[in-house]
Amino acid sequence: MNFGVPKEIRDQEKRVGITPAGAHALVRHGHKVFIETHAGQGAVFSDEDYLKEGAQVVYSPEEAWGRADVVLKIAPPQPVEYERLGEGQVLMAFLTLVVAPSGLIQALLEKRVTAISMENIEDGEGGYPVLAVMSEVGGRMAPIIAAQYLQSSYGGLGILISGVAGVPAADVVILGGGTVGKNAARTALGLGAQVTVLDVNAKQLRHLDEAFSGRVTTMIANPYNIEKVLRYANVLIGAVRVHGERTPVLITREMVRRMRKRAVIVDMSVDHGGCLETTHPTTHANPAYMEEGVLHYCVPNIPSNVPRTATHALTNVVVPYLVKIGRMGLAQALFTDPGFSRGVNLHNGRVVKEAVGQAHDLTSERLEDHLG
């Protein structure tokens, strides 16, 4: 089977679909990997690194797409890439199709692409293994970013996140206690902050309380508690996610208005619409903006700022799925692995993920009815 790895063209996206080690694993199983020249440059992987592992370097995006049965990407296809989609091709990426532009949906359907959203792939225990590794990276980066933007030169309050003797540490509030929230709490504690985590799931809060030996304050995420903690927060990290759906807006503009002026918000759920009414996506080139007197950092692809770590972590969990596709064929790989099949949003010109159909007013069908 042929795997294609185009160079990412989304602004400031430095990750790449697979590492040289991942390419080696596929080649060792008898497959071909076609990687666009300089695709790994942002993550400091050279063309020579891939060539040494048996991959073939191609010198145009059209060839990287055109020679592939399966295309490996990070970001969803950009408009200029729609015409490069191959008829009946398999595309694996972080697609977030519930909030994707209608033009992308139509292009994928017209080309009968099987679109696998890696963030929707599940394991046998109800977890999301591919999403989890990026959530770990992003969650651990969020407090570091917040610590930077608390500095007055970045527009923040001028607070040292750890405090010093006689001066209290910053109050970091994390909304959501899942993988992102847990990893954000770990790093914030390591930086010396006072940390509060809110979640709707009491069981998850008990888990966090035990994991951090009571060093994190935990609260149920209801409107009363959210408003209460926002009033004293120096940092708010939005770590809310409803898998396969748009993130619910839990914090209104009025709530933001009542926060401390020049406090910092890092909305980690912006790639799924954001959990604040004042959220809108930004880029690494222009990552932050001031809204209602509060500094907002809303970059959807935060892990791309540590692309080498992120690409290694991603390859570790994705390669087994690629090997399975190569060994069994796509239909059999999906049929024998229900968790993998839940990552499929579109199949052969049909919408097979109900949330995507609802988001775009399209009829959805059952994937199982089309696998044979």
DSSP for 255-306 reads: HHHTSPTT-EEEETTGGGT-SBTT-----SSS-EEEETTEEEE--TTGGGGS
Share of the chain above pLDDT 90, in %: 91
What is the predicted pLDDT for the residue at 4?
Answer: 98
56 bridge partner residues: 34
Among 84, 131, 137, which residue's Cα sits nearest to residue 107? 84
For residue 69, what is the DSSP state?
Answer: S
Q: Are strands 171-175 and 235-238 parallel, antiparallel or unpaired?
A: parallel
3-state SS assignment for residue 224: helix
Residue 113 tokens read as 């692409």
Give the mean pLDDT of 116-130. 90
What is the predicted pLDDT for the residue at 244?
Answer: 64
Domains 2-120+307-370 and 129-305 share a fold: yes
CA distance 103 to 66: 20
- Convert the pLDDT of each residue in 18-69 to its tens digit: 999 999 999 999 999 999 999 999 999 999 999 999 999 999 999 999 999 9
Q: Which amino acid is at 236?
A: L
Task: Give me the residue spans of the domains in the chain.
Answer: 2-120+307-370, 129-305
pLDDT band at 372 (very low <50, low <70, confident <90, very high): low
Q: Are strands 32-36 and 56-58 parallel, antiparallel or unpaired?
A: parallel
User: Residue 248, Cβ neighbours under 10 Å: how many?
Assistant: 13
Q: Which CATH superfamily is domain 129-305 in?
A: NAD(P)-binding Rossmann-like Domain (3.40.50.720)
pLDDT band at 241 (very low <50, low <70, confident <90, very high): confident
The angle subtended at Cα 228 by Cα 222 and Cα 231, nearest 5°, is 140
- Convert the pLDDT of each residue in 296-350 to its tens digit: 999 988 999 999 999 999 999 999 999 999 999 999 999 999 999 999 999 999 9
pLDDT band at 242 (very low <50, low <70, confident <90, very high): confident
Share of the chain above pLDDT 70, in %: 99
Give the mean pLDDT of 198-208. 96
State the Rg of the chain over Cα.
21
**CA atoms within 13 A of residue 368's CA, in its CB half-sphere:** 5
- Convert the pLDDT of each residue in 136-159 to its tens digit: 999 999 999 999 999 999 999 999
307-328 and 20-28 are packed helices; what angle lies between their axes, rounded to 10 degrees? Answer: 10
CA distance 187 to 144: 8
Alpha helices (H) along the chain:
20-28, 47-52, 61-66, 102-110, 129-149, 179-190, 202-211, 223-230, 253-257, 307-328, 330-336, 338-341, 354-359
- For residue 18, what is the enclosing H or E element? none
Give the mean pLDDT of 68-82. 96
pTM, full prediction: 0.88
Distance linking the first and last C-alpha atoms of the chain = 21
What is the predicted pLDDT for the residue at 365?
Answer: 92
Q: Which CATH superfamily is domain 2-120+307-370 in?
A: NAD(P)-binding Rossmann-like Domain (3.40.50.720)
* Those residues with Cβ within 8 angstroms of residue 106's Cβ, 6 or more apart along the chain or in another chain: none
What is the predicted pLDDT for the residue at 369?
Answer: 85
What is the predicted pLDDT for the residue at 362?
Answer: 94
Among 65, 67, 87, 63, which residue's Cα sits nearest to residue 78? 65
**Summary mean pLDDT of the chain:** 95
CA distance 240 to 175: 6
